[in-house]
A and B are shown apart, each in its own frame.
Chain A
Amino acid sequence: MTDRTTGPDQMTGATPDNGMRNANRANGKPGPMLSADGTPLKRSLRRAQRRQKIRALMLIAPLLIFVLLTFIAPIADMLFRSVQNQIVSDTLPRTVASLERWDGQSGEVPDEQTFRALYLDMFIAAERKEHTRLGSRLNYELTGVSSLFRRTGRDVDDFGEVYEDAFNDLDPKWEDPTTWARILGSADWVGEAEGAEAPGPDFELRDDVASYLPLTAELYGIFAEFIQTEDGDSPMEEEPWTLVYTALYWDLQRQGFAYSGPEADLVRAAAQAASGFENVSLKALFIDSDKDWGDPEVWATIKTYAPEYTPGYFLNAVDRQLTPDGVEKRPANEQIYGILFQRTIFMSLTITISCILLGYPVAYILANLPMRTANLLMILVLLPFWTSLLVRTSAWKVMLQQQGVINDTLVWLGLVDDASRLVMINNQFGTIVAMTHILLPFMILPLYSVMATIPPSYVRASKSLGATNWTTFWRVYFPQSVPGIGAGSILVFILSIGYYITPEIVGGTTGTFISNRIAYHISSSLNWGLAAALGSILLAVVLILYYLYDRIVGIDNVKLGG
């Protein structure tokens, strides 16, 4: 024997035996179960499982990323539009800021200062061609804003002409673009830009010019950047916007004006003369351009929709309206979404129930026929899938219209008088018939696959126990087919709630769905915010119904197959 102390039994490291011994020791008293290497069992189990989880995750990662990028993200983005409203504050930043001081309840138009802000914003927006877009946006809330913005966008160019003329008359040097460039541009930039090919180097403001001529510097900067990037022109060659002349006039009029820098004499002379210039009221110019600018409601609407996020679309979607006085109900003759939501849900439920009533017997027969016959019949069930939706829907028109096949047959049989043919299309009835037909396979397929897994021995057992055919069906067969009904109903209901082609064609006025309005706002009115709000509400309704279904029936009671 040796005197070494580390035989197999003396090893103190992590051996399976030691781990077990530790675990045994630990068993006596409360403590974590240890694995062979001494780490708590739970942790090593977690580690082992984590590796498996990561592996599983990596396997589904391509699909997950695909779905996220192509499905979830665009939908989330679309739904997010229902609250987004940056367009107002982005397009009219100065106006929005200035309107904060204005009391919307006063019933008076904002002061000259706000009109000056609007002039700056509107001029820049018109140059960037963004004003009509904002006009369209605000027109959703107040009729007439669209043309107001379009008209004023055309006129706003002329508002500052009086100052341009005044400066040019004072000294022809003001007509020379290089004068402006030298006053406002940094010496380095001027040096580089002179003689350079348009658009020249990026414009740089002179360091201290902003302290003497703050507004002029800001707007000239915007002007220079705009013509360089958009038009490819150089500020050395382009006369500034009339807006910049106006800004200079305002700067010169400022209390305690002082200036030092290039063209100091010219600027000081202009400052001297400026007090003698004709002072135009922008308020008057705007109202002159369109009298609606004198309407406090226009201003109140701009102020109400100034925030970057708005509940406005959602309120519209529930027949409410965000007004300067708070949330109001829309006038009765404009309410439509409440009716449409109710109708959509009611008709979807009706369609689902008719699908159950019509599909159940068919699925039952399919499930109880020999395989060959069942497959043949299944083809008939699936046949509608192979024809275009439009063709199917149009076929229903031919069938159901007043001069259609069914009416002709009824008249021929003498069941219906020729003068009082039945109205079966362009109403709810037509929509329900056509959509039941289209969605029926979505009911039959899950029903069939559930029924096919119900062993015939249950029915036999029930009969052997003394139950009649009806009792057997109702107490034994039917309860086991409920998961199929559940799956089919969810499919049919969710599909029908979002349908719009069929209701559009055969729905007439009383058979249209909320989706028809969503489609209209997406493709015709371009009111995507409202469409997104309607879509979000629809999604929420579906999720709530799904939740209720889970609570009442249990979601584990849904089976798409054995």
Chain B
Amino acid sequence: MSDTTEGAFVEFSRVQKSYDGETLVVKDLNLTMPKGEFLTMLGPSGSGKTTCLMMLAGFETATHGEILLDGKPINNIPPHKRGIGMVFQNYALFPHMTVAENLSFPLEVRKIGKSDREAKVKRALDMVQMGAFGGRRPAQLSGGQQQRIALARALVFEPELVLMDEPLGALDKQLREHMQFEITNLAHSLGITTVYVTHDQTEALTMSDRVAVFDDGRIQQLAPPDQLYEAPQNSFVAQFIGENNTLTGTVTEVNGEFCKVKLDDGEVIDAKAVNIDGVGSKTQVSIRPERVEYNSERMAEGVHTIKAEVLEFIYMGDIFRTRLRVAGKDDFVIKTRNAPDQVRLKRGQQIEIGWLPSDCHALDA
């Protein structure tokens, strides 16, 4: 993706936000989005992601910095003139209006003629497969149906940018997965630029073109989902996205892309030098559970092995999940696929485990 501001559709430039004049909720935010991108802001609550969304929508003003939409600064444009579609956490469907009236509302305030309006409402309802529900009140619909209507309402006036604030938070798991799929499909097929806020990492990974991981008022990493997972830039991202094993140690040697790390129990391992300060610095080494191998037959050439004791073995159907004591830490988890030839470990068993140095990231401590 392009890092220049040229051709950026949405741009945050050195944006700061403070509510009380003492602490910054958003610290020096810089972000650019090209047209048509589906970007997710992911982070724990209080990380500043929703504030960013609200600043973009115009419900909060930036304390400092500029927000540009299609190249124009929008700081002083009131929300109703920004032309941004928005889907709210609890849908915010107007309870005193029918579904069709809800959809018609943004068209009415834009003074669109009646026949035009009806056509657009019908199209939008069909788009979310809710064509038959125009006469109902929101309270008569199920959660999923309300969600679709909220989506249709945000899209019916054909905005170029749509913001979604945890829109699937209130749905059950199955429906949520189904809606994730529908929303991404819709966004891509209509070519809309979407900013999506969630604290659910699965949602972020499955839906987005790029994910911005927020913490402490900053973007910790902005990257496509696969990079985020496989090449986390720092230990927060590594911890926050997916399951992760960490071992702490000290860097003893740096060899270009790789380095050697002396773990707390004295063992020395090879790791990819991603985010370290040089020799002698403390580091956290991150290894994904599914990249660890204990079956010596499957282990690749040149893999460094290390001793481990099985503390727990859990049969989970498609995978086995094993908790080990490694380098004095007893929360080291590995996941292995349930294959016909796979060895099932027993509690108390002493084994050797190993991984590729490229799967092992030395990050900030």
Contacts and interface: CB of A to CB of B under 8 A. Distances in A.
A375 interface: no
A465 B154 CA distance: 7
A461 B80 contact: no
B interface residue count range (under 10 / 10 to 19 / 20 to 34 / 35 or more): 20 to 34
Contacts of B79: 460, 463-464
Interface string B55-70: 0011100000000000
A461 B95 contact: no
Interface string A462-493: 11111111011001100110000000000000
A469 B105 CA distance: 14
15 contacts: A458-B92, A460-B57, A460-B59, A460-B92, A461-B88, A463-B59, A464-B79, A464-B163, A465-B86, A465-B105, A465-B157, A466-B81, A467-B109, A468-B80, A469-B80
A172 interface: no
Contacts of B94: 458, 461-462, 476, 480
Contacts of B109: 465-468, 471
B110 A466 contact: yes
Contacts of A466: 80-81, 83, 106, 109-110, 157
B245 to A, nearest CB: 40
Nearest to A460: B59
B43 interface: no
B89 A462 contact: no
A457 interface: yes
A190 B152 CA distance: 105
Interface string B77-106: 011111111101110111110000000011
Considering residues A462, A471, A472, A479, which has the most beta carbons from chain B within 10 angstroms of its beta carbon?
A: A462
A455 B89 CA distance: 12
A462 B106 CA distance: 8
Contacts of A475: 105
A466 B58 CA distance: 12
Given A466-B80, A467-B105, A468-B80, A457 B89 contact: yes
A455 B138 CA distance: 15
B92 A461 contact: yes
A70 B78 CA distance: 60
A325 B57 CA distance: 80
A539 B80 CA distance: 49
Contact of B80 (A455, A457, A464, A480): A464
B272 interface: no
Nearest to B94: A476
Interface string A434-468: 00000000000000000000010110111111111
Nearest to B86: A464
B95 A455 contact: no
B153 interface: yes
A480 B95 contact: yes
A476 B79 CA distance: 16
Contact of A457 (B84, B92, B157, B163): B92
A550 to B, nearest CB: 18
Nearest to B101: A475
Contact of B153 (A463, A465, A471): A465
